[in-house]
Structure 1
Amino acid sequence: MAAVLTGVALATLDTAIANTALPTIAADLGVDPGASVWIVNAYQLAVVATLLPIAALGEIVGQQRIYVAGLVLFTGASLVCALAWTLPTLVAARVLQGVGASALMAVNVALIRFIYPAHQLGRGVGLNAFVVGVGFAVGPTVASLILVAAPWPWLFAVNVPIGLGALALAWTALPDTGRSGHGFDAPGALLTAATFALLVLGLGEAAHEGPLWRILSEIAGALACGTLLLRRQAGHPAPMLAVDLLRRPLFALSAATSVCSFAAQGLAFVSLPFLFQHTLGRSQVETGFLMTPWPVVVALMAPLAGRLSDRYPPGLLGGIGLAGLAVGMGLLAALPANPGVADIAWRMAVCGAGFGFFQAPNLRAIMTSAPPARSGGASGIVATARLLGQTVGAALVAACFALADAHGPALALGLGGAFAGVASAVSFLRLAIRPEPARGPAERSV
């Protein structure tokens, strides 16, 4: 678990750190701030394009091998990022770093399933959610502290010793998850990458109010590639886009719950800085502190929810948590004209408690509703649902701003509350479904 969680922490922290440091990097490299956004975009596109193909490869060669390879690539790419001398060099290194992070995120939950016995799986995914929450909470602070003491290349250089330590642990400690008997579908992998890369690009263009023709062409390209992918992999024993798992009602409802909940989170995290700074007149530093209660409470709540999910139905726990998230977002949308810090903080804490109470039980439901042999595909869906939901949420914020102008943040928060309410209802629907047997010898191992 130390090996798995260290890799997850690296991938999570790196996203938050790079976002915070963009202005500093752009100024040092002498490039336009708009062009520097590709330092973040290249990483995200690499992750979303390769998640499902790498998850499928993990089932073929073993998840532990993919995780070790991901650590090697992420650590090596971090060193190249630290030594980069131009924007193109840094962007290319960030693509490689994104592929390494994708390998870590694609199989980490699958590995946890093989590390913990079935009756304690909730504890494992609760720890995973705790580390992710802490990473998002402290990422901007870590970036600021590093930039105070050292130039920006150290933002990436600090990954190297940590990555090497995680690699030393992973090399000897990770369990052998076995191999499947089918081959790797390279054309299917290219279609999968094109489908999700074009979809995220299209949604990103919509979020930034890009040209309509470009948005429509990218979405149309994603639909065309997705259709070809489904036709190509029809009847495949382990398709990259896990339609075989989505035919299981419990798995499908859990994945839908995840997409809706992360869309709600995306609506909140993109719109709240505008609400705090533009509407309420808070500074950038104050905004950072006001955003902190949400991820901190998520991190505190996740281990408790994970342990409870080993005893109570995830559908019940997730439904309760997402109902709390819906209430919290509604309270944020209805903030008074001149709220104090405490007025904002307790509403953010309600949102964090609700989201944290949902996350670990939902992860457990997704993994236990898939057969052990398809743990890699299930783990890939976990990460893809999160990224897809966050991207949809960010795109909807732009639509809210276009429709409501100054009231856009409040509209986005209200819409996020509606998404959380829908996710809560979908979560409760899982109580009516009897889980399909998914246990096997590998899942019973410790």
Structure 2
Amino acid sequence: MLTSYADGIPTPRRYGAILTIILSISIAVLDGAIANVALPTIARELQASPAASIWVVNAYQLSIIMTLLSFASLGDIYGYRRVYQCGLALFSLMSLACALSDSLWMLIGARILQGLGAAAVMSINTALIRIIYPQSKLGRGIALNTLVVAVSTAAGPTIAAAILSVASWQWLFAVNVPIGAVALFLGHRFLPANNQKNGGQQFNIFSALMNALTFGLLLLGLGGFAQGVDVGWVLLDLILALLALGIYVRHQLNQPWPLLPVDLLKLPLFSLSIGTSICSFSAQMLAMVSLPFYLQTVLGRDEVATGLLLTPWPLATMLFAMLAGRLIGRVNGGLLGAVGLSFFALGLFSLAWLPAAPDDGQIIWRMMLCGAGFGLFQSPNNHIIITAAPRHRSGGASGMLSTARLFGQTLGAALVAMMFNLFGDTGTHAALLLAGGFAAAAALVSALRISQRNQAG
């Protein structure tokens, strides 16, 4: 069926559609981190250097963030269902190509194309949720999506370790193929269509190129800084990124349908929510990347114990994301976000000031506080972002939501490297203090939204 629905789709079709979203977004998000654990093995078997093997991860991340907004625009023009299904098919096919790769460069090429498919899926998944759920239940739908993204992000290394304990690294990618095939079948049957064009909107190739150049240069600069590249080259890269950004934004201001949604960023509620998202995901990544070093090198925990001590964070996020989903519409989203981020900041600061020899319980309750605060904030924030945009601009809003998440995570990871470079053995302590500062700033920004009106209605 290709019928469009004004206010959600009926059950049980809705269940099939949301299962499609869950399966596809899970494998797309998981693949952002799942290969990290296997990089030494991949480098050894493909006879590559460790530095070159890092591109197995970087190529995927760069491909996604350089094209997210372009695919969001294509979704607004040609329909979310069509772009989503094409992206899912490409992702699944390239997952098979990754599994069959017999050289590093073949694997990197497949990862670039796999990233394009993931970008199509990530860019418009929340836009699809907006047409899958009726308005009265949209908060629950976005909470479920938030839950899936959060758990997939946190569970990547654990799932990778489980697969590698019984199979070769190729299976990290091969497992996506049957899951992707099931999601494609379900999507063909259950995903709703929105095939109408938006008043003559056309895809702007120059905008897409400038978008890719801006985000590509920016992430390469941040990644180079994290890997200890000469400061001069990093500064040159970042200067070029800022020049590209200036040209890009200037061009977008003159477009009736901007790829970078400057029209949406003019809405205070939308722009404040995007800023809050970037700060919160930077804080999350600062903590999640630095904490394993502290747990293993300072406290002497092994890999298994480290994984178990980190697990309360995503578990608490799961529970409180669903709770927040039920509170959406009943409690002001800006207030929910401010309260959640305050708890998140408190948890991060408490982790920074752990006693010298903490027991497991002292670590676990702090992890739970961080996860609870993050879960309480994220669902309402995502709901605000997607509903602050007019319905026909859902693709642009969805693309910005994913872009803010990925940019915040990339920034956070680069800042961890800076903390370790500056502070050495106390780098984790510094990273957690910085993370707490980001979360506290995000709480203040979220509080500014309490009095803001949703202009999209």
Amino acid in structure 1 at the alignment position of 2:197: R
Contact 1:280 1:338 in 2 (8 A): yes
Deviation larger for 285-294 or 332-341: 285-294
| Correspondence list, 1:82-93, <5 A | 82-93=99-110
Instruction: Look up the match of 1:166.
Output: 183
Q: CA–CA distance in 2 between the matches of 1:141 and 1:416?
A: 23
2:417 to 380, 390, 398: 398
Q: CA–CA distance in 2 between the matches of 1:266 and 1:238?
A: 33
Contact 1:123 1:310 in 2 (8 A): no
Q: CA–CA distance in 1 between the matches of 2:218 and 2:325?
A: 32
TM superposition shift of 1:313: 1.2
TM superposition shift of 1:7: 0.7
Q: CA–CA distance in 2 between the matches of 1:437 and 1:291?
A: 39
Instruction: Look up the match of 1:443.
Output: none
1:156 to 167, 173, 176: 173
Instruction: Look up the match of 2:12.
Output: none
Instruction: Look up the match of 2:208.
Output: 189
Contact 1:121 1:310 in 2 (8 A): no
| Alignment pair present for 1:45 and 2:53 | no
2:320 to 293, 297, 301: 301
1:214 to 215, 233, 246: 233
- Superposed CA deviations along residues 389-430 of structure 1, whole A, max 9, x for unmatched, are 112212222222233222111011011001100101111110
TM-score by length of 2: 0.93
Amino acid in structure 2 at the alignment position of 1:49: M
Deviation larger for 145-154 or 418-427: 145-154
Instruction: Look up the match of 1:10.
Output: 27
- Superposed CA deviations along residues 240-284 of structure 1, whole A, max 9, x for unmatched, are 111110100100111111011011111111211221122222223
2:222 to 203, 213, 225: 203
Instruction: Look up the match of 1:442.
Output: none
Instruction: Look up the match of 1:313.
Output: 332
Instruction: Look up the match of 1:341.
Output: 360
Deviation larger for 62-71 or 397-406: 397-406
2:274 to 255, 259, 266: 255
- Superposed CA deviations along residues 43-88 of structure 1, whole A, max 9, x for unmatched, are 0000111111111111111111110011000000000001000000
Q: CA–CA distance in 2 between the matches of 1:93 and 1:320?
A: 43
Instruction: Look up the match of 1:389.
Output: 408
Q: CA–CA distance in 2 between the matches of 1:189 and 1:247?
A: 21
2:115 to 61, 84, 98: 98
Instruction: Look up the match of 2:260.
Output: 241
Task: Report % sequence identity.
Answer: 52
Deviation larger for 387-396 or 332-341: 387-396
**SS state of the match for residue 34, structure 2?**
helix
Structure 1 residues without counterparts, runs of 5 or longer: 439-446
Q: CA–CA distance in 1 between the matches of 2:154 and 2:419?
A: 26
Contact 1:132 1:299 in 2 (8 A): no
| Correspondence list, 1:65-76, <5 A | 65-76=82-93
TM superposition shift of 1:202: 0.7
CA root-mean-square deviation: 1.3
Instruction: Look up the match of 2:10.
Output: none
- Superposed CA deviations along residues 307-353 of structure 1, whole A, max 9, x for unmatched, are 21132111011111000000000000001111111211111111000
Contact 1:202 1:218 in 2 (8 A): yes
2:298 to 279, 285, 288: 279
Q: CA–CA distance in 2 between the matches of 1:336 and 1:82?
A: 45
Q: CA–CA distance in 2 between the matches of 1:221 and 1:421?
A: 31
Amino acid in structure 1 at the alignment position of 2:88: L
| Alignment pair present for 1:120 and 2:133 | no
Instruction: Look up the match of 1:107.
Output: 124
- Superposed CA deviations along residues 73-107 of structure 1, whole A, max 9, x for unmatched, are 00000000010000000010001111111111000
Structure 2 residues without counterparts, runs of 5 or longer: 1-17
Contact 2:33 2:57 in 1 (8 A): no
TM superposition shift of 1:15: 2.1
TM superposition shift of 1:33: 2.0
Contact 2:253 2:262 in 1 (8 A): no
Q: CA–CA distance in 1 between the matches of 2:253 and 2:387?
A: 24
Instruction: Look up the match of 1:133.
Output: 150
Deviation larger for 136-145 or 238-247: 136-145
Q: CA–CA distance in 1 between the matches of 2:306 and 2:50?
A: 21
Contact 1:120 1:310 in 2 (8 A): no
Q: Give aligned pairs, total.
A: 438
Instruction: Look up the match of 2:4.
Output: none
Q: CA–CA distance in 1 between the matches of 2:319 and 2:37?
A: 24
TM-score by length of 1: 0.96
**SS state of the match for residue 347, structure 1?**
helix
**SS state of the match for residue 72, structure 1?**
helix
2:197 to 167, 174, 179: 179
